Amino acid sequence: MRHLFILLFPLFCYSQVTITTLDLPKEIEETSGLEFYGDNYITHNDSGDKAKVYVFNPKGEIVKSVRFYDLKSKDWEDIAADDQHYYIADTGNNLGNRKELKIYILSTTLDSKGSIRIKYKKQKNFKERAFHPYDAEALTVYGDSLLLFSKNRKSQKSEIFMFPKTEGNYRLTPLAVLDVESLITAADYNRELDLLALTGYNFRGKQFFYTVSDFKKNGWESFNLVKYDIPIKGAQVEAVKIVNTNNFILTSEQLKSQFARLIQLKIEK
């Protein structure tokens, strides 16, 4: 595969974004990923929980939870899906010292089906430090592959990594770099719309939402990256799901006195 290094700058958008929110139960106070599960949603906590997923309905009520005794939950950061599988990214690496990063594969009936093991090809230093380029929280399906977006506290840019969505060991090299000026926390790609959505925040706690239209059509050469402010306080958005071109579902983990929340975001054209 030929590796492209493209630095892409966002267009700042002043279209109005409107949101409505719904409090989520305490069991998913660290919700860090979001996917559809039939007419419901599926999520997981990031760190501090057992290896579990939770199914909840549009009213925010937990329908069921599933515990996986053969999986480990070090720092689960996102969940992605295709027609046959769910993929859970155990890729959180705040201090840059993790040597084992995995993507767990689940069937649509939530049975464990193996794992994908990844490493960053350029990483040689595994000492604890606050600012480094080897953390990633955002995962999405992209055809026969998975895309992983870095949470780079050092540059506040996001490197894009692509690798197969099948079991194996993969050494990752970035295909492109997005100048998002934030820390990316979630991703979702919709093949029919050819639309990518991302969420992130900066060091001041301001929350952002991004769209990239014609994502595949542009062939990694140039992206229509648009950045929006999310009008919400006391939140840290950690998950995103595309509904259609203008409507999106997000979740925010509990922060201080605020409950975890399900957020419906609409772009007003």
6, 97, 224, 230 from 12: Cα distances, Å? 19, 34, 11, 13
pLDDT tens sequence across 157-185: 999 999 999 999 999 999 999 999 999 99
Question: Residue 237 in contact with residue 199, Cβ under 8 Å?
Answer: yes
pLDDT confidence band for 4 (50 / 70 / 90): very low
Partners of residue 258 on adjacent β-strands: 255
pTM value > 0.85: yes
Q: Which residues contact 1 (CB under 8 A, 6 or more apart)?
A: 162
The structural domains of the chain, ordered by start, are 7-268 (2.115.10.20)
Q: What is the mean pLDDT of residues 216-221?
A: 85
pLDDT confidence band for 233 (50 / 70 / 90): confident
Q: What is the mean pLDDT of residues 32-47?
A: 97
Q: How far apart are CA 135 and CA 149, in angstroms?
A: 9
Which pLDDT score is estimated for 98? 96
Which pLDDT score is estimated for 31? 97
Q: Beta strands of 108-229 (E only): which ranges?
A: 112-120, 136-142, 145-150, 158-164, 168-172, 176-178, 183-190, 195-201, 207-213, 224-229
pLDDT tens sequence across 105-150: 999 999 999 999 999 999 999 999 999 999 999 999 999 999 999 9
Question: Residue 21 in contact with residue 249, Cβ under 8 Å?
Answer: no
For the chain, how far is it from start to end, CA to CA, in angstroms?
38
Which pLDDT score is estimated for 222? 81
Question: Residue 151 in contact with residue 158, Cβ under 8 Å?
Answer: yes
Q: What is the mean pLDDT of residues 45-60?
A: 95
Q: How is residue 100 written in tokens?
A: 């084992």
